[in-house]
Amino acid sequence: MIALSLHRKVSVIGAGMTRFHHKLHLEKQGRELFTEAALEAAESVDNGFTLKEADALYLGYFSSDMFEGQAHISALMADWIGINPKPAVRVEGACASSGMAVNMGVLAIASGLYDVVVVGGVEKMRTLDTSKVTDTLAMAADVSYEVAMGFTFPGLYAAIASAYFNKYGSTWEQLANISIKNHENGALNKKAHYQETIMDIAKKLGERKQMSFSDEMEFLNSALNPMVASPLRLFDCCPISDGAAAVILAADDVAKKYTDTPVKIVGIGQASDTMALHDREDITALMASRVASRNAYDMAGIKAKDVSVACVHDCFTIAEIVATEDLGFFPKGQGGKAAMEGRTGLDGDVAVNADGGLKAKGHPVGATGAAMVYDIFKQLRGEAGDHQVADAEVGIAHNVGAAGATVTMQVYRR
């Protein structure tokens, strides 16, 4: 039975991340990126913390094998962050790898074995060119059935978008609007890959091509935003970024030694769904998002309406719309419209992807789940800077692996 409470409560006491970027980290290895994030996380602990105080490391990395030709990255990273002989575990769950690592860290502390653990993730993707990255990511789908038929993730999410449009009569503008919103947020986030609004980009690209655009929609509907997999265009897809994020978790009874303002992890959840889309009854919702979020809400004793700030997994714009419905923020079929009405903006009913989301912040896949926690930690402590959401009380991190075959969730409270 999956229980509604853990034997011991856990809090976040520190968090760090590198900037996510496609060029800045070309000379660095994954080991260097994660070490940078882990050191920043340690530095962020109010009353001081050195990584050697950690009892264990849980690290998400989707495919160090393919991207760096390096496996056993857990032990390598324990060595690099200087915590030997403490145990280190790599967890892999496609793009939800570090969401899993966070949950594993929570369980490991709740078990009573450890008091303080470092969790996080990294992905060094820019070792390969774009088509090879796409092929590598496609290994997270069912290779024997889906990939063998020509699917990669833009195609799988395009199928979701097409089915969704067909079922709910939604339009392309709703997708474009997600991209516009997330780039606006990303422009306010110093860790984001793209710190530019869509209008900034439209002006820049337009000038090069001697074109001008009166608004974002016009640009996004132009040839400068080419179709990737209909109906998804280039700006419906998150970029390919390198980066790392690290979070320090402590048992509640130990956390107070390190800070007066820990961020409490009040609920966790994880769920699986069929690997292949074709095995699902309905592809306009992710069943695993529904199960994982309900488990996490129930453990936290909250309802969806209580959430003030949400990092949701927007690898493609359609994914954010579907997520805001699956997570219970809006009824099915209403997510796109709600976002168009500004209800997911920084001052909306629930601020969704205040940090720019995967779309603008970037998506070094193994780092994403932990990077969400980084932003929630900052938001709930009022330290998020220009993209701070006023009076954020309850935050969630929703991390999706592949097309929803894995979903992890946590609920945080200040």
- Which residues are at the interface with a second copy (CB under 8 A)? 1-3, 5-8, 29, 55-56, 62-63, 65-66, 68-76, 78-79, 83-94, 100, 104, 106-108, 110-115, 139-144, 268, 270-275, 279, 287-288, 291-292, 401-402, 405-406
Task: Assess whether 95 carries a catalytic annotation.
Answer: yes
For the CB of residue 111, give the shortest distance to a second copy in the complex, in Å: 4
22, 193, 313, 363: the active-site residue: 363
Amino acid at 267: G
For the CB of residue 320, give the shortest distance to a second copy in the complex, in Å: 21
For the CB of residue 135, give the shortest distance to a second copy in the complex, in Å: 9
Rounded to a whole number of angstroms, the distance between the first and last alpha carbons of the chain is: 29
For the CB of residue 246, give the shortest distance to a second copy in the complex, in Å: 17
- Taking the least distance from each CB to a second copy, the nearer of 104 and 198 is 104
Task: Assess whether 22 carries a catalytic annotation.
Answer: no
Cis peptide before 331 (omega within 30 of 0): no
21, 22, 25, 95: the active-site residue: 95
C-alpha–C-alpha distance, residues 107 and 10, integer Å: 9
> Dihedrals φ, ψ of 188, to 5°?
-100, 0
Q: Is 204 exposed, middle or buried (0-12, 13-18, 19+ CB in 10 A)?
A: exposed
Contact present, 313 and 398 (Cβ < 8 Å): yes
Please give the C-alpha separations between residue 344 and each of 109, 337, 351, in angstroms, as whole numbers: 34, 10, 5
Phi-psi category of residue 121: left, alpha or beta, with phi > 0 → left and psi -120 to 50 → alpha: beta
List the beta strands (DSSP E) in 219-284.
227-229, 232-233, 243-251, 263-272
For the CB of residue 384, give the shortest distance to a second copy in the complex, in Å: 29
3-state secondary structure of 399: strand
C-alpha–C-alpha distance, residues 143 and 94, integer Å: 13
Catalytic machinery residues: 95, 363
